[in-house]
Amino acid sequence: MNRLMQKPGPPFYFLALLLGFGFLYAFLVPPFQSPDEPNHFLRAWQVSNGQFIAQKTPDHRLGGVLPKGLQAFTQSFQFLRTEPAQRISIHQVLASNNIKVNASEQDFLDFANTAIYAPTAYLPQTLGIGLGKGLGWGPLGCLYAARCANLLVWGLLWLWALYLFPFQQRPMAALALMPASLVLAASCNADVITNGLCILIFAGLLSRRPSLFYGCVAALLMVAIHKLVTLPLVLLFWVNAPKKHVRNLFYSLMIGVAAIGWALFANQWFIPYDAYHPDFRDTQTLNAGVDPAGQLQWIFGHPFAFVRIVWGSYLQALPSTTAHWVGKFGWEKNYLPAGWIALLLGLFIVLASTEKNQATRSQRGLAALAALLYLILFAITMFALWHPVGAPVLSNLQGRYFVPILPLLVYATGNQYFKINEKWVNVGMASIFCLGNLAMVVAIWMRYYG
Q: What is the pLDDT of residues 298-314, one digit of tens each?
A: 999 999 999 999 999 99
How would residue 10 be classed by pLDDT, with cut points 50, 70 and 90? low
pLDDT at residue 15 greater than cutoff 50: yes
Residues with Cβ within 8 Å of 353's Cβ and at least 6 positions away in sequence, in order, are 414, 415, 416, 417, 418
Please give the average per-residue pLDDT across 19-32, as a whole number.
94
Confidence of residue 12 (pLDDT cuts 50, 70, 90): low
Would the pLDDT of 16 be above 80? no
Residue 3 has what pLDDT? 45
pLDDT tens for residues 243-264? 899 999 999 999 999 999 999 9
296: pLDDT strictly greater than 90:
yes
Q: Cα-flanking dihedrals φ and ψ of residue 198, to 5°?
A: -60, -45
pLDDT range class, residue 6, cuts 50, 70, 90: very low
pLDDT category at 61 given cuts 50, 70, 90 is very high
Distance separating alpha carbons of residues 388 and 59, to the nearest angstrom: 23
Q: Model-level pTM? A: 0.93
Instruction: Tell me the pLDDT tens digit for each residue of 87-134.
Output: 999 999 999 999 988 888 899 999 999 999 999 999 999 999 999 999
Tell me the per-residue pLDDT of 282-291, one tens digit each, with 9 for 90 and over: 988 889 999 9
- Residue 117 contacts residue 43 (beta carbons within 8 Å): yes
Which residues, 6 or more positions from 70, have their beta carbon under 8 angstroms from its beta carbon? 41, 42, 45, 101, 109, 139
Distance CA 158, CA 11 (A): 9
Task: Report the distance separating Cα 351 and Cα 379, nearest Å.
Answer: 29
CA 394 to chain centre: 19
* Residue 7 pLDDT level (bands cut at 50, 70, 90): very low
The predicted-structure confidence for 336-379, as pLDDT tens digits, reads as follows 999 999 999 999 998 888 888 888 889 999 999 999 999 999 99
Whether residue 166 is predicted with pLDDT greater than 90 in this model: the reply is no
